[in-house]
């Protein structure tokens, strides 16, 4: 479970730091020119990007079981949605 939290936080922050002139904004500007079905899993959508990274992490590091795969991806996306709520809540206080 800790692995899911770590990966989801890293992928969420990668996408979040692409907003509004932050460190990854040149990358975001580059990928938004692509069609949505390509740009979203590459980082334009934090949920899609998290799901993509979780999928490939599971495929390359774990023994394949379909239920475990679906749980791993779903939990990662859910965690990234929680990170998004927390990030937007804290950003409003600024």
0.85 cut: is pTM over it? yes
Residue 94: band (very low, low, confident or very high) from pLDDT cuts 50, 70, 90: low
Tell me which residue of 94, 85, 93 sits closest to 16, measured CA to CA: 85
* First-to-last C-alpha distance (Å) of the chain: 31
Res 91 pLDDT > 90: no
Per-domain boundaries in the chain: 2-89
**Distance (Å, whole) CA 73 – CA 46:** 13
Q: Above pLDDT 70, what percent of the chain? A: 98
């Amino acid at each position: 479970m800790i692995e899911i939290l770590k990966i989801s936080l890293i992928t969420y922050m990668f996408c979040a730091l692409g907003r509004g002139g932050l460190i990854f904004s040149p990358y975001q500007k580059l990928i938004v020119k692509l069609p949505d079905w390509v740009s979203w899993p590459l980082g334009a959508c934090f949920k899609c990007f998290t799901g993509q990274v979780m999928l490939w992490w599971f495929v390359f590091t774990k023994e394949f079981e379909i239920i475990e795969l679906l749980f791993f991806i779903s939990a990662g996306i859910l965690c990234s949605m929680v990170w998004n709520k927390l990030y937007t809540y804290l950003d409003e206080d600024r």
